[in-house]
Amino acid sequence: MTQPQDLPKEAGHRLEELEHGLFTSDLSVNEFLLIKEAGFHPLGFVMGSSIYHTGIQARRWSKSQELTKLTEAMYNARELAMTRMEEEADQLGADGVVGVRLDVNYYEWGRDAAEFIAVGTAVKAEDGTSHRNKLGKPFTSDLSGQDFWTIMQTGYVPQGLVMGTCVFHIAHRGIGQTLGTVGQNVELPNFTQALYEARELAMTRMQDEANTLGATGIVGVRLEEKSHQWGSHTIEFLSLGTAVTKSAGDVTLPKPITVISLDN
Amino acid sequence: MVASGPTEPDDDGPPAQGGGGADGDLPEAAGRRLGGSSFSSGLTVPDFAACLQMGLEPVGLVQGFCVMQWGWYGSGSPYMRGMTPYAFGGNAPRGAYSETYSCPHGGYVYSNEHRIWGQNYQQPWVESAWAQGFGSAYARMVEEAAEVGAHGIIGVVDTTRHLADMNVTEFHILGTAVVVQGGAAPPGGTPWTTYLAGQRLAKLVEAGYMPVSVVAALSSVRVWAYCVTEMLMEGTLSRFGGGYLPVSEVEQLSRAHIAARSLAREHVRSQLGNDTLQGASIVANTQSLAQGDEVIECALRGTRVRRFKDFDPLPAPRPTVRLT
Residue A52 lies in a domain: yes
pLDDT at B77 over 50: no
Residue B126 sits at the chain A interface (C-beta within 8 Å): yes
Residue A262 lies in a domain: no
Enumerate residue ranges in chain A where pLDDT < 50. 1-3
Residue A4 lies in a domain: no
Q: Which of A154, A184, A200 sits opposite B33 (nearest CB)?
A: A200
Residue A240: φ, ψ to 5°: -135, 145
Give chain B positions within 8 Å (CB) of A30: 324
Residue A256 lies in a domain: no
CB B156 within 8 A of CB B173: yes
Mutate to test the interface with B, among A200, A239, A253 (most CBs of B within 10 A): A200
Q: How many beta-carbon pairs under 8 angstroms link A with B?
A: 167
Q: Under the phi-then-psi rule, with left for phi > 0, alpha for psi from -120 to 50, and beta for the rest, what region is B89?
A: left
Q: Do A197 and B52 touch (CB under 8 A)?
A: no
Q: Do A218 and B40 touch (CB under 8 A)?
A: yes
pLDDT at B86 over 80: no
Question: Closest by alpha carbon to B221, among B74, B123, B293?
Answer: B123
Higher pLDDT, A21 or B96: B96
Give the number of domains in chain A.
Answer: 1
Q: Do B36 and A211 touch (CB under 8 A)?
A: yes
Higher pLDDT, A173 or B110: A173
For B152, the 3-state DSSP assignment is: strand
How many angstroms separate the first and last alpha carbons of chain A? 51
- Would the pTM count as exceeding 0.95? no
Q: Using one digit for the tens of pLDDT, what is the confidence trace for B39-72?
A: 788 899 999 999 998 999 999 999 999 988 876 5
Q: Do B41 and A218 touch (CB under 8 A)?
A: yes
Domains, in order of start, for chain B: 28-68+127-210 (3.30.110.70), 74-89+96-124+218-302 (no CATH)
Q: Do B70 and A185 touch (CB under 8 A)?
A: yes
- Provide the 10 A C-beta neighbour count for residue A109: 6
Q: Which helix (H) or strand (E) holds A235?
A: strand A234-246
Question: Closest by alpha carbon to A234, among A58, A111, A37, A106?
Answer: A58
Measured distance CA(B183)–CA(B188) in Å, rounded: 14
pLDDT at B228 over 50: yes
Q: Do B41 and A221 touch (CB under 8 A)?
A: yes
CA of A54 to nearest chain B CA: how many angstroms apart?
24
Measured distance CA(B141)–CA(B146) in Å, rounded: 9
Measured distance CA(A212)–CA(A84) in Å, rounded: 19
Chain B residue whose CA is closest to A243? B40
Q: Using one digit for the tens of pLDDT, what is the confidence trace for B265-284?
A: 999 999 999 999 999 999 99
* From B77-86, B158-167, B247-256, B279-288, the region with the lowest mean pLDDT: B77-86
Residue B138 sits at the chain A interface (C-beta within 8 Å): no
Q: Tell me the pLDDT band of B116, cut-offs 50, 70 and 90.
A: confident
The half-sphere exposure of A157 on its side-chain side, counting CA atoms within 13 A, is 21
Q: Tell me the pLDDT band of B16, cut-offs 50, 70 and 90.
A: very low
Q: Do B71 and A186 touch (CB under 8 A)?
A: yes
Which string of DSSP letters, residue by residue, matches B190-205?
A: PPEE-S--HHHHHHHH
DSSP state of B17: T
Which string of DSSP letters, residue by residue, matches A152-177?
A: HHTTEEEEEEEEEEEEEEPPPPPHHH
pLDDT at residue number A170 = 82
Q: Which of A181, A219, A262 sits opposite B41 (nearest CB)?
A: A219
Residue B1 sits at the chain A interface (C-beta within 8 Å): no
pLDDT at residue number A122 = 94
Q: Tell me the pLDDT band of B132, cut-offs 50, 70 and 90.
A: very high
pLDDT at residue number B74 = 45
B203: CB partners within 8 A, 6+ apart: none
Residue A254 lies in a domain: no
pLDDT at residue number B260 = 96
pLDDT at residue number A2 = 44
Residue A259 lies in a domain: no
pLDDT at residue number A75 = 87
| Sheet strand arrangement including A234-246 | A65-66, A156-169, A234-246, A217-226, B39-40
Give chain A positions within 8 Å (CB) of B50: 256
Q: Do A203 and B39 touch (CB under 8 A)?
A: no
Q: Do A181 and B315 touch (CB under 8 A)?
A: no
Instruction: CATH number of the domain at A27, please.
Output: 3.30.110.70
Give chain A positions within 8 Å (CB) of B48: 151, 154, 219-220
Question: Closest by alpha carbon to B17, among B175, B138, B121, B122?
Answer: B138
Angle of helix B124-147 relative to helix B251-269, nearest 10 degrees? 30
Sort B79 into a burial class: Cβ within 10 Å, 0-12 / 13-18 / 19+: exposed
Measured distance CA(B192)–CA(B214) in Å, rounded: 8
pLDDT at residue number A12 = 73
pLDDT at residue number A141 = 93
CB A131 within 8 A of CB A95: yes
CB A122 within 8 A of CB A46: yes
Chain B residue whose CA is closest to A211? B38
Longest pairwise C-alpha distance within chain B = 77
pLDDT at residue number A185 = 76
pLDDT at residue number B110 = 62
Residue A170 lies in a domain: yes
Measured distance CA(B228)–CA(B239) in Å, rounded: 11
pLDDT at residue number A37 = 92
Q: Do A220 and B45 touch (CB under 8 A)?
A: yes
Measured distance CA(B85)–CA(B79) in Å, rounded: 12
Q: Do A232 and B129 touch (CB under 8 A)?
A: no
- Chain centroid to Cα B258, Å, comes to 17
pLDDT at residue number B4 = 47
Chain A residue whose CA is closest to B70? A185
pLDDT at B84 over 70: no
ipTM over 0.85: no
Cα-based distances in Å from B309 to A33, B183, B260: 41, 16, 35
Q: Tell me the pLDDT band of B20, cut-offs 50, 70 and 90.
A: very low
pLDDT at B80 over 50: no
Cα-based distances in Å from A153 to A215, A245, A247, B46, B256: 17, 13, 11, 11, 52
Residue A20: φ, ψ to 5°: -90, 15
Q: Do A188 and B168 touch (CB under 8 A)?
A: yes
Q: Do A173 and B166 touch (CB under 8 A)?
A: yes
Contacting B residues, span 161-180, partner chain A, CB-CB under 8 Å: 163-166, 168, 170, 174
Residue B165: φ, ψ to 5°: -65, -25
Residue A146 lies in a domain: yes
Contacting B residues, span 5-34, partner chain A, CB-CB under 8 Å: 20, 26-30, 32-33
Measured distance CA(B311)–CA(B305) in Å, rounded: 14
pLDDT at residue number A18 = 67
pLDDT at residue number B96 = 86
CB B109 within 8 A of CB B220: no
Q: Which domain holds residue A223?
A: 10-176+186-246
Measured distance CA(B62)–CA(B65) in Å, rounded: 11
Q: Tell me the pLDDT band of B82, cut-offs 50, 70 and 90.
A: very low
How many angstroms separate the first and last alpha carbons of chain B? 34
